[in-house]
Structure 1
Amino acid sequence: MSVLTTKEIMDIIPHRHPFLLVDTIEELVPGVRAAGKKCVTYDEYYFRGHFPQEPVMPGVLIIEALAQVGAVCILSCEKFKGKTAYFGGINNCRFKKKVVPGDVLMLETELIKQKGPVAIARATATVDGKVAATAELTVAIG
């Protein structure tokens, strides 16, 4: 059972179709960690051009999906409700596995450092328990 539905996610972050890249939040400890899910379908807009003969989810969109889960995590804190989380940086990003139509992308973020309105999260995307991408993401609350 999901903790947050797509509609509830949209109540927290401003992203909308086609750029909302998280379907549900499966776990949430506000300001600490969050886990989300993205069911990747062949109908995703980016597969028309990336790549038509071998559809692969762009790595930057996997990282964006992780950032959206991180934004839900931090913006669920009472002091940040109603604000916007902006990307501040990406460090140590690695792609380990292709994400293709039919995959269920699990997105996990854990806040490892926070100073005022800036937080750093450790983020991991997996498919069937195998790591697809990892990164350290910096988020600034505006």
Structure 2
Amino acid sequence: MKHLDINQIKEIIPHRHPFLLVDFIEDYEPGEYAVGYKCVTYREDFFRGHFPQEPVMPGVLTVEALAQVGAVAILSMEENQGKTAYFGAINNCKFKGKIVPGDKVRLETRIIKRKGPMGVGRAEASVDGKIVVSAELTFMVGQAGKND
């Protein structure tokens, strides 16, 4: 198993606080898959407004966290180092449960198709073994700061 700490993740993907939504990578294989975790605390900025009376992690941020884990798998490939993975599409997305303060979210994205700079990842977020979000994420790899 290949592990990555937060500093190693930051060497691969361009995201930074407060938008870096992955705390560590438990295992990955470049171009194939990555499994990471987000440890959710009450101190997350988004809980101030979503929702003050019942803090719930926004579903779109969970999808973003899954995309970031997938980006680790894609951008750790030698030919993609220093590039950025952009969203192309989100398909078949299902929200099946809530993520709340104290949850340790397991994020897994498996690359199921690649053709040139584009590809698709099958992604699942789970808490305590229960899937809370699933989706197919289409990505495009390009140079950061350029419209490819």
- Residue 122 of structure 1 corresponds to which residue in structure 2? 122
Give TM-score scaled by structure 1 length.
Answer: 0.98
Give the drift of 1:43.
0.2
Asked if residue 69 in structure 1 is aligned to residue 86 in structure 2, the reply is no
Give the drift of 1:2.
7.0
Percent identity at matched positions?
65
SS in 1 for 2:83: coil
Which string of whole-angstrom CA distances, capped at 9 and with x for unpartnered residues, describes residues 8-44 of structure 1? 1111111000000000000101100100000000000
* Whole-angstrom CA distance in 2 between matches of 1:34 and 1:71: 9
Hey, which bits of structure 1, 4+ residues long, moved more than 2 A? Answer: none
Identify if the C-alpha distance between structure 1 residues 119 and 46 changes in structure 2 by more than 3 Å, giving closer, same or farther: same
> Does the CA contact (< 8 Å) of 1:105 and 1:125 recur in 2?
yes
Give TM-score scaled by structure 2 length.
Answer: 0.94
* Whole-angstrom CA distance in 1 between matches of 2:139 and 2:127: 24
> Does the CA contact (< 8 Å) of 1:12 and 1:75 recur in 2?
yes
Residue-pair matches, total: 142
- Residue 89 of structure 1 corresponds to which residue in structure 2? 89
Q: Where does structure 1 lack aligned partners over 5 or more consecutive residues?
A: none
Q: Give, as a single letter, the amino acid of the residue that structure 2 aligns with 1:18.
A: P
- Residue 23 of structure 2 corresponds to which residue in structure 1? 23
Q: Where does structure 2 lack aligned partners over 5 or more consecutive residues?
A: 143-148
* Whole-angstrom CA distance in 2 between matches of 1:93 and 1:24: 24
- Residue 112 of structure 2 corresponds to which residue in structure 1? 112
> Does the CA contact (< 8 Å) of 1:2 and 1:24 recur in 2?
no
- Residue 51 of structure 1 corresponds to which residue in structure 2? 51
> Does the CA contact (< 8 Å) of 1:33 and 1:110 recur in 2?
yes
> Does the CA contact (< 8 Å) of 1:90 and 1:137 recur in 2?
yes
